[in-house]
Amino acid sequence: MRFASFLASHAAIMGTKDAVVCGNERLSFHELDARTTQLAQALRDEAGIQVGDRVAVYLPNGIEFVCALIATIKAGALAVPVNLPLSVPEIAHILSDCTPKAAFICEATQAAFAKAMEGGHAPLRIGTDGASGTDLRMHDLVAPGRERAALDIPYDADDCMVSYTSGTTGRAKGVILTQSNYMFVNGYLNGWYWRLSAADRHLCTTPLAHRTGMARLMSMILHGSTLVVMARFDAKEATRLVREEGITVFGMVPTVGRMMLAEVEAAPRDFASVRVMLVTGEAFPLDVKQRLHQALPDARFYSFYAMTEAGALAWLDSSEQFTHPTSVGRVWPGVEIKLVGEDGKQVATGEVGEVWVRSGRPGLYSTMRGYFNRPQETAEAIRDGWVVTGDMGRFDDQGYMYLVDRKKDMVLSGGYNIYCKEVELAIQSFPGVNDAAVIGVPDPVFGEAVAAYVELAPGIGQDAEAIIAHCREQIASYKKPKYVFFVPSMPRNSTGKVLKNALREQFRAGEAQA
């Protein structure tokens, strides 16, 4: 099965229904299917895209992003969504790693893209809106009246996306995801258990290039529901869209939940159409969830635990949100989870172990097919079909799972995973820095924020703002430290490893004295 067959069916059955809405633009299912098919054919005819090639999509939220991504997959290529907040060095790494044959860019992204290409891989540039100096223009490729040959895609060409996620080494790795992955998770699991249908209208409040935004897009493709995309999140604008577009499914990361709370409590009638609220199962603040539920008692709340490499892991039904508020839920059907101890053996119920996930052959159901062009990392991450997540958890005797720690050194801020090693490497590249250690600290808006402890070389002046500005150039802005603390030396154990628990205690002590 392919996305193309779903869209063709929607176009035939409900062709005039809204498929995508963004600002003043609307595309029906008939228009979306026709435009993406024509663009896919143009990618083959004029851009030379072949099955298995990669195509970068470096566009902001909007109808062009949706069309570019779907057309790439229809052409048999792998879409590579590039998050707009990424820095030039990060974009350059992605381009050199996946070597895309073409890239969709726009006026807002063309300058950063040009810098990222300097001295490295240079894909064919396909421009939208006011982008200049491109090789092809998206508008021309979908102009009416252009005859194109029908596409013939091999039946086993299932790979559809390379989604880049940072790692503990500080270098982003591309996760190969398949159309089957999305059909199982977003089509079957989410559809059945959240009761999604073509009658639903989903609001996308996050970047489409992010996993949560991509899930909303997949609901449109697989269920025939309408996708309403925000160009950028604003709580008041989100309220207007819910009211005027009749939004029925509202997905939110913790940051969006906090920002929406005042709007929901002030005018719950504006959210009367919402029947499903999707809230991330990990780190979503209980008090925010409770207040949203009190304001919208008729909406069903669902939370979930998922990750790019392992797909869907566990979920809490609406009835369990407040009976098991600290749990990430019970294991999804079709998914296996075991908790593994340091000795490599499965731990007993109630004991803590590392979360391993399996769901049939990698790439067929929930779990990734592997890392792009990284056989060693793939072998380390997937063992006998089990994806090793790096999260630490425990099960209770009712089968509810609780996350207790992250084996990976990671900060979860505003719905984004920020790997400490990546930030540490950026800080360590600043002149005069001897060492740096990064931890996650509580934040009232984003859940967690990045705090950096920096050890300087003798004679170097302390300049926190300069270090933060340097990080902004090296990594995405959302990864930069919110706090920079200078220390004469790092607390270390006998082997020289930095004791991050001691740094966390130091931060808490400083907060208590403030």
Q: What is the pLDDT along the chain (514 residues), one digit of tens a residue?
A: 799 999 999 999 999 999 999 999 999 999 999 999 999 999 999 999 999 999 999 999 999 999 999 999 999 999 999 999 899 999 999 999 999 999 999 999 999 999 999 988 889 999 998 898 899 999 999 988 766 777 889 999 999 999 998 765 567 899 999 999 999 999 999 999 999 999 999 999 999 998 899 999 999 999 999 999 999 999 999 999 999 999 999 999 888 998 999 999 999 999 999 999 998 766 677 888 999 999 999 999 999 999 999 999 999 999 999 999 889 999 999 999 999 998 999 999 999 999 999 999 999 999 999 999 999 999 999 999 999 998 899 999 999 999 886 767 888 888 888 888 889 989 999 999 988 999 999 998 888 999 999 999 889 999 999 999 999 999 999 999 999 999 999 898 766 778 888 999 999 988 767 6
Domain with CATH 3.40.50.980 in the chain: 25-157
Residue 510's pLDDT is 84
Distance CA 417, CA 406 (A): 11
Q: Which two tokens stand for residue 195?
A: 């009761």
- Decide if 213 contacts 228 (C-beta within 8 A): no
**Closest Cα partner for 175 from 187, 167, 183?**
167
**pLDDT at res. 253:** 86
- What pLDDT was estimated at residue 246? 98
Instruction: Identify the CATH class of 410-513.
Output: alpha beta
Which is nearest to 487 in space by CA: 459, 513, 512, 452? 452
CB-based contact 254:222 (threshold 8 Å)? no
Q: Return the closest-CA partner of residue 67 out of 128, 145, 9.
A: 128
**Measured distance CA(411)–CA(483) in Å, rounded:** 14
- The position carrying tokens 């082997």 is 495
Residues counted in the chain? 514
266 token code pair: 């002030």
Taking the C-alpha atoms of residue 382 and residue 378, their distance in angstroms, rounded to an integer, is: 6
Q: Which amino acid is at 495?
A: T
Q: Tokens 């099955």 belong to which residue? A: 51
Q: Is 314 exposed, middle or buried (0-12, 13-18, 19+ CB in 10 A)?
A: buried
| Spatial distance between the Cα atoms of 190 and 195, rounded to a whole number of angstroms | 7
The whole-angstrom separation of Cα 115 and Cα 444 is: 35
Report how far residue 230's alpha carbon sits from residue 204's, in angstroms, rounded to the nearest whole number: 6
Neighbouring C-beta atoms of residue 421, cutoff 10 Å = 17
Structure tokens at 341: 């101890």
- Which one, of 84, 40, 80, lies nearest residue 56 by Cα? 80
Query: By CB neighbour count within 10 A (0-12 exposed, 13-18 middle, 19+ buried), where does 316 fall?
Result: buried
Measured CA to CA, the distance from residue 454 to residue 416 in angstroms comes to 23
**Burial of 425 (C-beta count, 10 Å sphere; 0-12/13-18/19+):** middle
**Distance between CA 411 and CA 448 in Å, rounded?**
7
Q: Where are the beta strands (DSSP E) in 253-332?
A: 276-280, 300-307, 311-316, 330-331
CA distance to 147, 308, 321, per residue, from 271 (Å): 46, 30, 20
- The tokens for 169 are 């080494």
Measured distance CA(434)–CA(455) in Å, rounded: 6
Fold exhibited by the domain 25-157: Rossmann fold (3.40.50)
What ranges make up the beta strands (E) of 221-360?
226-229, 249-252, 276-280, 300-307, 311-316, 330-331, 336-340, 353-358
Structure tokens at 140: 């021309």
* Strand partners for 498: 492
CA-wise closest residue to 160 among 86, 102, 76, 99: 76
